[in-house]
Amino acid sequence: MTPMPRIVPVEDLRQDPAAVLKRLQSSAQPLVITQRGSNAAVMLSVAAYERAERERELLRLLVRGEQQIVADAGHDLEDVLAEADTVLAADRS
């Protein structure tokens, strides 16, 4: 089950941005910024953003691999696993 996003009114962000940033950095979860009761933006810590970007890159690689399989233009399994290991190793650092 996905945890409920943490909600921060834009007024809280205006009044004490340092406290909002501290909340953001203390959790891997995004903050939803609301304005006049409506969702206006989502804030992520740099670590969470970088992790999400690496996950998207891995998904892109998987889609590209699937397309190559369909087109019968694939790569050796060892090459694919080595590339996946490189992406995953960057995630651990």
Strands 38-43, 6-9: pairing kind: unpaired
C-alpha–C-alpha distance, residues 14 and 74, integer Å: 52
- In eight-state DSSP terms, residue 28 is S
Classify domain 6-44 at the CATH superfamily level: YefM-like domain (3.40.1620.10)
pLDDT in tens, 9-46: 999 989 999 998 888 888 878 999 999 999 999 999 99
pLDDT at 65 over 90: no
Domain definitions of the chain by residue range: 6-44, 47-92
Neighbours of 59 (CB within 10 A): 10
